[in-house]
Chains A and B, each alone.
Chain A
Amino acid sequence: MLRRREEEDPRKTLKEGREVTACGVKFLQSLKKSCNKEVDTYASCIDCGSSKLYISKCRPEQRYLDQCVEDNLNIERPPLGYFSKIHVHESSHPPPAPIFRDYKKEADEILHSLPDDRKMRKDYRRFNDWRISAFEN
């Protein structure tokens, strides 16, 4: 889902985004149903332990929570560094095809279709790529 977003625009990934959030919400709801007490102690430990929300201060509570989650939901905690490694996913969509536009052709088409006595705009200027100007970049 993230990969898709890197390549295209956000409007196309709205559906996947909704699925992602729904999945997250479902997980949190299942947590609340099964491990509420451990989650509360862990969260308040992190919240009230320091202003910088250090996690290393709350290792015992974390162990309790992991044990509870393993027992109830059968989800193992990913080892430290799992999300910092590179994971390659196979996706069901093909990668988006790059679009190459021929600007000269398009410009020529438009120019040819104009009437012969067309008037140039007063503020037109040919694009001089090589020109350095003090006020424009």
Chain B
Amino acid sequence: MSKGPQYQQDMPPPGGYRKFNWERTVLWRPGIIIPGLVGCAVFGIYQAYYQKRHRQTEKFEDRDILNAMEPFIAAERDREWLRLLKKNREIENELMKDVPGWKTGTWFGEPVYYTLGEKWWDPAQLEVFAHSPRKSQMDEMLFHHHSEYSAPKFYDKWIPDFIGRYIW
């Protein structure tokens, strides 16, 4: 290989550079920073693990409590549901007592569902709210839980009613 053109390169001084004086930094040197970072990472991993476990236990306990409460809540819900349906039935009786050939809960004597026979089937939303004001139906449909502060805020007094009734 023939020699190329000669350049003057900026090389380290003969004997190399002198060693870095870590004494002039108060604390920060490789022997401290690297174990520090590794320690932080390990601690973070442990913390994440234990926090996840704690969260999981929390959710598990909540679900456990719900499972335990289920019979009580279901019994109360059933009673309330049947009470509402009975109220609807009475209103229907009252309304249609002069119509000839009408049996409540059926269409002029014919049952609404053919294959059901004696089985129980929950009525549809239209039937349940047939005798209720529209407001109760919209409340039921648009209700949802809020995870945060859900009382009126300062600007609610300026929102007109026809928008405001659908927002909160």
A residues lining the B interface (CB < 8 Å): 1-2, 5, 8-11, 13-14, 16-18, 20-21, 24, 51-52, 54-56, 78, 80-84, 99, 101, 103
Asked if A17 and B79 sit within 8 Å, CB to CB, the answer is yes
Asked if B72 and A20 sit within 8 Å, CB to CB, the answer is yes
Asked if B148 and A51 sit within 8 Å, CB to CB, the answer is yes
Interface of B is mostly: helix
Q: Is B58 an interface residue (CB 8 A)?
A: yes
Q: B109: shortest Cβ distance to chain A, in Å?
A: 14
Q: Contacts A17-B74, A56-B54, A99-B118 given; 4 further ones with Cβ under 8 A?
A: A13-B78, A52-B147, A83-B64, A83-B65
Q: Jot down 29 A-B pairs with beta carbons below 8 A, ordered by A.
A: A2-B74, A5-B74, A5-B78, A9-B120, A10-B81, A10-B82, A13-B78, A16-B75, A17-B76, A17-B79, A20-B72, A21-B72, A21-B75, A52-B147, A55-B62, A56-B54, A56-B61, A78-B68, A80-B60, A80-B61, A80-B64, A81-B64, A82-B64, A84-B60, A84-B64, A84-B67, A99-B117, A101-B115, A103-B114
Number of A-B contacts (CB under 8 A): 70
Asked if B120 and A56 sit within 8 Å, CB to CB, the answer is no
Q: B85: shortest Cβ distance to chain A, in Å?
A: 10
Interface size for B (C-beta < 8 A) is: 29
1/0 contact string of B74-90 vs chain A (CB within 8 Å): 11101101100000000
Task: Choose one: A17, A81, A99; the contact of B60 (CB below 8 Å).
Answer: A81
Q: Is B63 an interface residue (CB 8 A)?
A: yes
Task: Choose one: B64, B71, B118; the contact of A1 (CB below 8 Å).
Answer: B71
Asked if B78 and A14 sit within 8 Å, CB to CB, the answer is yes
Asked if B115 and A103 sit within 8 Å, CB to CB, the answer is yes
Q: A19: shortest Cβ distance to chain B, in Å?
A: 9
Q: A10-B120, A103-B115 are in contact. Are A56 and B57 (CB under 8 A)?
A: yes
